[in-house]
Structure 1
Amino acid sequence: MIIKEVAVENFTQIPEAIANGATRIELNDNLAVGGTTVSRGVLEEAAKYLGEKQVPLVAMIRPRAGNFVYNDLELKIMEHDLFTAQQLGVDAVTFGALTSGGELDEEAMELLIAASGGMQVVLHMAFDMIKPELQRASLDWLVEHEVTRVLTHGGALDQPIERTIPHLREIIEWAGSAIEVLPGGGINYQNYQQLLEQLPVKQLHGTKLVPLANVKTDWR
Protein backbone atom coordinates (compact mmCIF):
# COMPACT_ATOMS: atom_id res chain seq x y z
CA MET A 1 0.00 0.00 0.00
CA ILE A 2 1.24 3.49 -0.85
CA ILE A 3 1.44 5.89 2.08
CA LYS A 4 0.04 9.27 1.13
CA GLU A 5 1.42 11.78 3.63
CA VAL A 6 -0.58 14.96 3.26
CA ALA A 7 0.78 18.22 4.68
CA VAL A 8 -2.12 20.17 6.12
CA GLU A 9 -2.49 23.60 7.68
CA ASN A 10 -3.96 23.69 11.16
CA PHE A 11 -6.68 21.20 12.15
CA THR A 12 -9.30 22.34 9.67
CA GLN A 13 -8.06 20.32 6.68
CA ILE A 14 -7.54 17.03 8.53
CA PRO A 15 -11.05 15.52 8.27
CA GLU A 16 -11.24 16.32 4.55
CA ALA A 17 -7.74 14.93 3.92
CA ILE A 18 -8.58 11.64 5.67
CA ALA A 19 -11.92 11.36 3.86
CA ASN A 20 -10.13 11.83 0.53
CA GLY A 21 -7.46 9.18 1.09
CA ALA A 22 -4.63 10.58 3.21
CA THR A 23 -2.95 7.79 5.16
CA ARG A 24 -0.55 9.96 7.19
CA ILE A 25 -0.80 13.62 8.19
CA GLU A 26 1.97 16.18 8.56
CA LEU A 27 0.51 18.99 10.68
CA ASN A 28 1.68 22.56 10.14
CA ASP A 29 0.74 26.15 10.58
CA ASN A 30 1.68 28.74 7.92
CA LEU A 31 2.11 26.43 4.94
CA ALA A 32 2.60 29.44 2.67
CA VAL A 33 6.09 29.79 4.20
CA GLY A 34 6.82 26.08 4.27
CA GLY A 35 5.19 25.25 7.60
CA THR A 36 5.76 26.15 11.23
CA THR A 37 4.73 24.58 14.54
CA VAL A 38 1.05 24.66 15.44
CA SER A 39 -0.25 25.65 18.88
CA ARG A 40 -0.53 23.11 21.68
CA GLY A 41 -4.31 23.21 21.42
CA VAL A 42 -4.30 22.40 17.71
CA LEU A 43 -1.74 19.64 18.21
CA GLU A 44 -3.71 18.09 21.06
CA GLU A 45 -6.99 17.98 19.14
CA ALA A 46 -5.26 16.64 16.01
CA ALA A 47 -3.55 13.89 18.02
CA LYS A 48 -6.88 12.85 19.55
CA TYR A 49 -8.74 12.88 16.24
CA LEU A 50 -6.07 11.01 14.30
CA GLY A 51 -5.59 8.53 17.13
CA GLU A 52 -9.28 7.63 16.88
CA LYS A 53 -8.92 7.26 13.11
CA GLN A 54 -5.68 5.26 13.50
CA VAL A 55 -3.88 7.61 11.14
CA PRO A 56 -0.25 8.51 12.04
CA LEU A 57 0.50 12.15 12.89
CA VAL A 58 3.75 13.94 12.04
CA ALA A 59 4.18 17.31 13.77
CA MET A 60 6.25 20.07 12.19
CA ILE A 61 8.76 21.49 14.68
CA ARG A 62 9.86 24.82 13.25
CA PRO A 63 9.69 28.05 15.26
CA ARG A 64 9.70 30.47 12.33
CA ALA A 65 9.87 30.85 8.57
CA GLY A 66 13.16 31.41 6.78
CA ASN A 67 16.34 29.42 7.02
CA PHE A 68 17.15 26.47 9.25
CA VAL A 69 20.04 28.08 11.11
CA TYR A 70 18.82 28.34 14.71
CA ASN A 71 20.20 30.17 17.72
CA ASP A 72 20.15 28.78 21.27
CA LEU A 73 16.81 30.37 22.15
CA GLU A 74 15.15 28.97 19.03
CA LEU A 75 16.52 25.52 19.81
CA LYS A 76 15.15 25.82 23.34
CA ILE A 77 11.71 26.62 21.89
CA MET A 78 11.95 23.61 19.55
CA GLU A 79 13.00 21.37 22.41
CA HIS A 80 9.97 22.49 24.43
CA ASP A 81 7.68 21.83 21.44
CA LEU A 82 9.16 18.34 21.12
CA PHE A 83 8.43 17.61 24.77
CA THR A 84 4.85 18.80 24.20
CA ALA A 85 4.45 16.53 21.16
CA GLN A 86 5.79 13.64 23.21
CA GLN A 87 3.29 14.31 26.02
CA LEU A 88 0.40 14.42 23.55
CA GLY A 89 1.24 11.08 21.97
CA VAL A 90 2.34 12.35 18.56
CA ASP A 91 3.72 9.58 16.36
CA ALA A 92 6.52 11.47 14.62
CA VAL A 93 8.16 14.88 14.46
CA THR A 94 9.85 16.60 11.55
CA PHE A 95 12.60 19.20 11.86
CA GLY A 96 15.99 20.18 10.51
CA ALA A 97 18.92 22.30 11.66
CA LEU A 98 21.76 23.50 9.45
CA THR A 99 24.87 25.59 9.80
CA SER A 100 25.30 28.86 7.89
CA GLY A 101 27.77 27.00 5.68
CA GLY A 102 25.22 24.52 4.35
CA GLU A 103 26.11 21.60 6.60
CA LEU A 104 23.94 19.55 8.92
CA ASP A 105 24.16 21.15 12.38
CA GLU A 106 25.05 17.95 14.19
CA GLU A 107 25.13 19.50 17.66
CA ALA A 108 21.66 21.02 17.24
CA MET A 109 20.30 17.85 15.67
CA GLU A 110 21.61 15.73 18.55
CA LEU A 111 19.79 18.01 21.00
CA LEU A 112 16.53 17.79 19.07
CA ILE A 113 16.77 14.05 18.50
CA ALA A 114 17.35 13.51 22.22
CA ALA A 115 14.19 15.52 22.98
CA SER A 116 12.20 13.32 20.58
CA GLY A 117 12.43 10.13 22.62
CA GLY A 118 9.70 7.66 21.73
CA MET A 119 8.69 9.42 18.51
CA GLN A 120 9.92 8.83 14.99
CA VAL A 121 12.23 11.56 13.72
CA VAL A 122 12.05 12.95 10.19
CA LEU A 123 14.53 15.36 8.60
CA HIS A 124 12.42 17.63 6.43
CA MET A 125 13.42 19.43 3.24
CA ALA A 126 16.26 21.18 5.02
CA PHE A 127 18.09 18.16 3.58
CA ASP A 128 17.90 19.76 0.14
CA MET A 129 19.76 22.83 1.41
CA ILE A 130 22.77 20.78 2.51
CA LYS A 131 25.66 21.13 0.07
CA PRO A 132 25.29 18.36 -2.53
CA GLU A 133 28.75 16.96 -1.84
CA LEU A 134 27.84 16.56 1.86
CA GLN A 135 24.43 14.97 1.45
CA ARG A 136 25.56 11.35 1.42
CA ALA A 137 27.66 11.78 4.58
CA SER A 138 24.72 13.60 6.20
CA LEU A 139 22.46 10.68 5.34
CA ASP A 140 24.95 8.31 6.98
CA TRP A 141 24.95 10.52 10.10
CA LEU A 142 21.15 10.41 10.24
CA VAL A 143 21.22 6.61 10.01
CA GLU A 144 23.72 6.43 12.86
CA HIS A 145 21.40 8.61 14.97
CA GLU A 146 18.34 6.47 14.20
CA VAL A 147 16.43 9.06 12.20
CA THR A 148 13.48 7.29 10.55
CA ARG A 149 13.24 9.10 7.23
CA VAL A 150 14.23 12.05 5.08
CA LEU A 151 11.77 14.25 3.22
CA THR A 152 13.38 15.48 0.03
CA HIS A 153 12.56 17.11 -3.27
CA GLY A 154 15.87 15.94 -4.69
CA GLY A 155 16.91 19.50 -5.48
CA ALA A 156 15.87 23.12 -5.25
CA LEU A 157 12.13 23.63 -4.90
CA ASP A 158 12.04 25.96 -7.89
CA GLN A 159 12.75 22.91 -10.07
CA PRO A 160 9.80 20.68 -11.00
CA ILE A 161 10.13 17.26 -9.44
CA GLU A 162 10.36 15.66 -12.87
CA ARG A 163 13.83 17.26 -13.17
CA THR A 164 15.01 16.07 -9.77
CA ILE A 165 14.14 12.40 -10.27
CA PRO A 166 17.75 11.41 -11.13
CA HIS A 167 19.03 12.79 -7.81
CA LEU A 168 16.08 11.32 -5.93
CA ARG A 169 17.04 7.93 -7.30
CA GLU A 170 20.59 8.52 -6.15
CA ILE A 171 19.45 9.43 -2.62
CA ILE A 172 17.22 6.35 -2.50
CA GLU A 173 20.18 4.20 -3.56
CA TRP A 174 22.38 5.75 -0.85
CA ALA A 175 19.69 5.12 1.75
CA GLY A 176 19.10 1.48 0.89
CA SER A 177 17.08 -0.09 3.68
CA ALA A 178 18.83 1.93 6.41
CA ILE A 179 16.58 5.00 6.27
CA GLU A 180 13.33 5.84 4.49
CA VAL A 181 13.28 8.38 1.68
CA LEU A 182 10.06 10.37 1.32
CA PRO A 183 9.82 12.31 -1.96
CA GLY A 184 7.88 15.56 -1.82
CA GLY A 185 7.43 18.95 -3.43
CA GLY A 186 5.20 19.29 -6.45
CA ILE A 187 3.60 15.86 -6.08
CA ASN A 188 -0.16 15.85 -6.40
CA TYR A 189 -3.10 13.51 -6.96
CA GLN A 190 -2.73 13.97 -10.72
CA ASN A 191 0.95 13.07 -11.14
CA TYR A 192 1.77 10.77 -8.22
CA GLN A 193 1.12 7.52 -10.12
CA GLN A 194 3.59 8.57 -12.81
CA LEU A 195 6.23 9.31 -10.17
CA LEU A 196 5.69 5.95 -8.50
CA GLU A 197 6.55 4.31 -11.81
CA GLN A 198 9.90 6.13 -11.83
CA LEU A 199 10.89 5.92 -8.16
CA PRO A 200 11.25 2.76 -6.02
CA VAL A 201 9.31 4.15 -3.04
CA LYS A 202 6.07 3.32 -1.26
CA GLN A 203 5.36 6.70 0.28
CA LEU A 204 4.92 10.24 -1.03
CA HIS A 205 4.37 13.67 0.52
CA GLY A 206 2.45 16.75 -0.58
CA THR A 207 -0.26 19.26 0.15
CA LYS A 208 -2.19 18.11 -2.90
CA LEU A 209 -1.74 14.34 -2.82
CA VAL A 210 -5.48 14.17 -2.27
CA PRO A 211 -8.02 16.76 -3.41
CA LEU A 212 -8.43 19.51 -0.81
CA ALA A 213 -10.31 22.79 -0.90
CA ASN A 214 -8.47 26.07 -0.32
CA VAL A 215 -4.89 24.79 -0.36
CA LYS A 216 -2.75 27.93 -0.39
CA THR A 217 0.64 26.57 -1.45
CA ASP A 218 1.89 25.17 -4.73
CA TRP A 219 5.32 23.82 -3.84
CA ARG A 220 4.63 21.13 -1.25
Structure 2
Amino acid sequence: MLKEFCAENFTDIPAAIAKGVKRIELCDNLTVGGTTPSAGVIENAISYAHDHGAQIMTIIRPRGGNFVYNDYELKIMETDLVEAKKFGTDGVVIGCLTEDGWLDEEALEVLIDRAVGLQITFHMAFDAMPTEMQYEAIDWLAERGVDRILTHGGPAGTPISDNYQHLRELISYANGRLMILPGGGVNFENADEVAEMLGVTEVHGTRIVDI
Protein backbone atom coordinates (compact mmCIF):
# COMPACT_ATOMS: atom_id res chain seq x y z
CA MET A 1 0.00 0.00 0.00
CA LEU A 2 1.23 3.47 -0.91
CA LYS A 3 0.83 6.05 1.84
CA GLU A 4 0.81 9.61 0.48
CA PHE A 5 1.90 12.07 3.17
CA CYS A 6 0.40 15.55 3.06
CA ALA A 7 3.24 17.85 4.12
CA GLU A 8 3.06 21.47 5.22
CA ASN A 9 6.33 22.88 3.88
CA PHE A 10 9.60 20.97 4.21
CA THR A 11 9.72 20.44 7.99
CA ASP A 12 8.35 16.90 8.37
CA ILE A 13 9.41 15.49 5.01
CA PRO A 14 12.66 13.84 6.22
CA ALA A 15 10.84 12.13 9.11
CA ALA A 16 8.00 10.97 6.85
CA ILE A 17 10.37 9.49 4.29
CA ALA A 18 12.29 7.78 7.10
CA LYS A 19 8.97 6.13 8.04
CA GLY A 20 8.58 4.72 4.55
CA VAL A 21 6.57 7.39 2.73
CA LYS A 22 7.15 7.21 -1.04
CA ARG A 23 4.90 10.05 -2.21
CA ILE A 24 4.29 13.48 -0.70
CA GLU A 25 1.69 16.12 -1.42
CA LEU A 26 3.59 19.36 -0.82
CA CYS A 27 1.52 22.26 0.54
CA ASP A 28 1.62 25.43 2.58
CA ASN A 29 -1.18 26.70 4.86
CA LEU A 30 -2.92 23.45 5.72
CA THR A 31 -5.25 25.37 8.03
CA VAL A 32 -7.06 26.51 4.86
CA GLY A 33 -6.71 23.15 3.12
CA GLY A 34 -3.34 23.79 1.47
CA THR A 35 -1.94 26.44 -0.85
CA THR A 36 1.07 26.55 -3.17
CA PRO A 37 4.34 26.55 -1.20
CA SER A 38 7.20 28.92 -1.96
CA ALA A 39 9.68 28.28 -4.77
CA GLY A 40 12.40 27.57 -2.21
CA VAL A 41 10.28 24.99 -0.43
CA ILE A 42 9.34 23.31 -3.70
CA GLU A 43 12.93 23.18 -4.96
CA ASN A 44 14.41 21.80 -1.76
CA ALA A 45 11.60 19.36 -1.04
CA ILE A 46 11.96 17.88 -4.53
CA SER A 47 15.73 17.64 -4.18
CA TYR A 48 15.51 15.89 -0.81
CA ALA A 49 12.70 13.55 -1.85
CA HIS A 50 14.44 12.50 -5.04
CA ASP A 51 17.67 11.86 -3.16
CA HIS A 52 15.72 9.55 -0.83
CA GLY A 53 13.53 7.64 -3.30
CA ALA A 54 10.27 9.59 -2.86
CA GLN A 55 8.04 11.59 -5.19
CA ILE A 56 6.61 15.09 -4.76
CA MET A 57 3.13 16.19 -5.82
CA THR A 58 2.98 20.00 -5.57
CA ILE A 59 -0.37 21.62 -4.85
CA ILE A 60 -1.21 24.50 -7.18
CA ARG A 61 -3.74 26.62 -5.28
CA PRO A 62 -3.38 30.39 -4.89
CA ARG A 63 -5.51 30.85 -1.76
CA GLY A 64 -7.88 29.24 0.69
CA GLY A 65 -11.63 29.48 0.39
CA ASN A 66 -13.66 28.28 -2.54
CA PHE A 67 -12.36 26.81 -5.79
CA VAL A 68 -13.80 29.41 -8.17
CA TYR A 69 -10.86 31.42 -9.53
CA ASN A 70 -10.69 34.64 -11.54
CA ASP A 71 -8.39 35.23 -14.48
CA TYR A 72 -5.61 36.72 -12.34
CA GLU A 73 -5.65 33.74 -9.99
CA LEU A 74 -5.58 31.34 -12.91
CA LYS A 75 -2.52 33.08 -14.33
CA ILE A 76 -0.86 32.73 -10.91
CA MET A 77 -1.67 29.01 -10.92
CA GLU A 78 -0.34 28.58 -14.44
CA THR A 79 2.95 30.30 -13.52
CA ASP A 80 3.30 28.30 -10.30
CA LEU A 81 2.69 25.04 -12.16
CA VAL A 82 5.30 25.85 -14.80
CA GLU A 83 7.83 26.76 -12.08
CA ALA A 84 7.17 23.57 -10.11
CA LYS A 85 7.67 21.60 -13.31
CA LYS A 86 11.02 23.33 -13.87
CA PHE A 87 12.11 22.30 -10.37
CA GLY A 88 11.33 18.67 -11.25
CA THR A 89 8.08 18.03 -9.41
CA ASP A 90 6.72 14.56 -10.14
CA GLY A 91 3.17 15.82 -10.28
CA VAL A 92 0.73 18.57 -9.44
CA VAL A 93 -2.48 18.74 -7.43
CA ILE A 94 -5.15 21.00 -8.92
CA GLY A 95 -8.86 21.76 -8.79
CA CYS A 96 -11.05 24.50 -10.29
CA LEU A 97 -14.84 24.81 -10.23
CA THR A 98 -17.49 27.11 -11.68
CA GLU A 99 -20.07 28.99 -9.62
CA ASP A 100 -22.62 26.21 -10.15
CA GLY A 101 -20.25 23.54 -8.85
CA TRP A 102 -19.17 21.97 -12.15
CA LEU A 103 -15.55 21.63 -13.27
CA ASP A 104 -14.04 24.83 -14.68
CA GLU A 105 -13.24 23.09 -17.94
CA GLU A 106 -11.45 26.01 -19.58
CA ALA A 107 -9.14 26.58 -16.59
CA LEU A 108 -8.46 22.88 -16.11
CA GLU A 109 -7.62 22.35 -19.77
CA VAL A 110 -4.97 25.09 -19.55
CA LEU A 111 -3.46 23.61 -16.38
CA ILE A 112 -3.59 20.03 -17.71
CA ASP A 113 -1.87 21.20 -20.89
CA ARG A 114 0.90 22.83 -18.84
CA ALA A 115 1.24 19.65 -16.77
CA VAL A 116 2.03 17.34 -19.70
CA GLY A 117 4.52 14.73 -18.52
CA LEU A 118 3.49 15.06 -14.86
CA GLN A 119 1.12 13.08 -12.68
CA ILE A 120 -2.09 14.99 -11.99
CA THR A 121 -4.31 14.75 -8.92
CA PHE A 122 -7.65 16.55 -8.73
CA HIS A 123 -7.92 17.61 -5.09
CA MET A 124 -10.80 17.86 -2.62
CA ALA A 125 -12.51 20.54 -4.67
CA PHE A 126 -14.21 17.33 -5.83
CA ASP A 127 -16.03 17.14 -2.49
CA ALA A 128 -17.45 20.64 -3.05
CA MET A 129 -19.24 19.39 -6.18
CA PRO A 130 -22.87 18.28 -6.01
CA THR A 131 -22.88 14.50 -5.68
CA GLU A 132 -24.85 14.03 -8.89
CA MET A 133 -22.10 15.83 -10.84
CA GLN A 134 -19.25 13.76 -9.45
CA TYR A 135 -19.74 10.79 -11.75
CA GLU A 136 -19.68 12.92 -14.90
CA ALA A 137 -16.63 14.70 -13.46
CA ILE A 138 -14.84 11.35 -13.20
CA ASP A 139 -15.57 10.80 -16.91
CA TRP A 140 -14.25 14.26 -17.86
CA LEU A 141 -11.08 14.00 -15.77
CA ALA A 142 -10.30 10.43 -16.83
CA GLU A 143 -10.66 11.34 -20.50
CA ARG A 144 -8.03 14.06 -20.03
CA GLY A 145 -5.48 11.83 -18.37
CA VAL A 146 -5.90 12.88 -14.74
CA ASP A 147 -4.33 10.15 -12.60
CA ARG A 148 -6.32 10.37 -9.37
CA ILE A 149 -9.02 12.19 -7.45
CA LEU A 150 -8.40 12.97 -3.79
CA THR A 151 -11.70 12.75 -1.93
CA HIS A 152 -13.14 12.34 1.54
CA GLY A 153 -16.31 10.97 0.03
CA GLY A 154 -18.50 13.33 2.04
CA PRO A 155 -18.61 16.55 4.05
CA ALA A 156 -15.38 17.68 5.71
CA GLY A 157 -15.20 16.70 9.35
CA THR A 158 -17.26 13.53 9.01
CA PRO A 159 -15.53 10.25 9.92
CA ILE A 160 -14.30 8.66 6.72
CA SER A 161 -16.04 5.43 7.75
CA ASP A 162 -19.37 7.29 7.32
CA ASN A 163 -18.47 7.78 3.67
CA TYR A 164 -17.38 4.26 2.74
CA GLN A 165 -20.52 3.57 0.70
CA HIS A 166 -20.16 6.65 -1.49
CA LEU A 167 -16.42 6.07 -1.87
CA ARG A 168 -17.10 2.50 -3.01
CA GLU A 169 -19.58 3.83 -5.58
CA LEU A 170 -17.01 6.31 -6.90
CA ILE A 171 -14.32 3.61 -7.05
CA SER A 172 -16.65 1.26 -8.88
CA TYR A 173 -17.68 3.95 -11.35
CA ALA A 174 -14.07 4.98 -12.02
CA ASN A 175 -13.36 1.32 -12.78
CA GLY A 176 -9.60 1.75 -12.97
CA ARG A 177 -9.71 4.72 -15.36
CA LEU A 178 -8.23 6.81 -12.58
CA MET A 179 -7.48 6.27 -8.90
CA ILE A 180 -9.93 7.35 -6.21
CA LEU A 181 -7.57 8.38 -3.40
CA PRO A 182 -9.25 8.43 0.05
CA GLY A 183 -8.16 11.25 2.34
CA GLY A 184 -9.39 13.41 5.18
CA GLY A 185 -9.43 11.54 8.47
CA VAL A 186 -7.14 8.78 7.23
CA ASN A 187 -4.16 8.31 9.57
CA PHE A 188 -1.55 5.79 10.64
CA GLU A 189 -4.06 4.14 12.98
CA ASN A 190 -6.84 3.48 10.47
CA ALA A 191 -5.05 3.50 7.08
CA ASP A 192 -4.95 -0.28 6.76
CA GLU A 193 -8.64 -0.59 7.64
CA VAL A 194 -9.62 2.14 5.14
CA ALA A 195 -7.62 0.46 2.38
CA GLU A 196 -9.14 -2.94 3.17
CA MET A 197 -12.72 -1.66 3.40
CA LEU A 198 -12.45 0.21 0.11
CA GLY A 199 -10.17 -2.17 -1.77
CA VAL A 200 -7.67 0.57 -2.61
CA THR A 201 -3.87 0.51 -2.75
CA GLU A 202 -3.26 4.22 -1.98
CA VAL A 203 -4.31 6.38 0.97
CA HIS A 204 -3.60 10.02 1.86
CA GLY A 205 -3.27 12.07 5.03
CA THR A 206 -1.34 14.55 7.15
CA ARG A 207 -0.86 11.81 9.78
CA ILE A 208 -0.54 8.84 7.46
CA VAL A 209 2.66 7.80 9.29
CA ASP A 210 3.51 8.22 12.97
CA ILE A 211 6.10 10.98 13.22
Q: Does the alignment reach a TM-score above 0.5? A: yes
| Structure 1 segment 70-109 matched on structure 2, within 5 A | 70-109=69-108
The Cα of 1:158 is off from its aligned counterpart by 2.2
Structure 2: how far apart are the matches of 1:178 and 1:197?
A: 20
Alignment correspondent of 2:204: 205
Gaps of 5+ in 2: none
Q: In the TM superposition, what whole-angstrom CA distance separates every residue of 1:6-38 from its partner, at most 9, and x where no partner exists?
A: 001101110011112212111100111110000
Query: Is the 2:25–2:56 contact (alpha carbons within 8 Å) kept by the matching residues of 1?
Result: yes
| Structure 1 segment 61-210 matched on structure 2, within 5 A | 61-210=60-209
RMSD: 0.8
Structure 2: how far apart are the matches of 1:47 and 1:193?
A: 27
Structure 2: how far apart are the matches of 1:117 and 1:137?
A: 23
The Cα of 1:124 is off from its aligned counterpart by 0.4
Structure 2: how far apart are the matches of 1:211 and 1:31?
A: 18
Gaps of 5+ in 1: 213-220
Structure 1 vs Structure 2: percent identity of aligned residues? Answer: 51
Structure 1: how far apart are the matches of 2:43 and 2:189?
A: 32
Structure 2: how far apart are the matches of 1:125 and 1:188?
A: 17
Q: In the TM superposition, what whole-angstrom CA distance separates every residue of 1:171-217 from its partner, at most 9, and x where no partner exists?
A: 000111111111000001111121122111000000001113xxxxx
Count residues with an aligned counterpart: 211
- Amino acid aligned to 1:64: R
Query: Is the 1:86–1:118 contact (alpha carbons within 8 Å) kept by the matching residues of 2?
Result: no
Structure-1-length-normalised TM-score: 0.94
The Cα of 1:117 is off from its aligned counterpart by 1.7
Alignment correspondent of 1:56: 55
Structure 2: how far apart are the matches of 1:194 and 1:177?
A: 21
Alignment correspondent of 1:28: 27
Structure 2: how far apart are the matches of 1:149 and 1:185?
A: 15
The Cα of 1:98 is off from its aligned counterpart by 0.3
Greater than 6 Å deviation, 4+ residue runs: none
Query: Is the 2:34–2:64 contact (alpha carbons within 8 Å) kept by the matching residues of 1?
Result: yes
- Amino acid aligned to 1:204: V
Query: Is the 1:189–1:210 contact (alpha carbons within 8 Å) kept by the matching residues of 2?
Result: yes
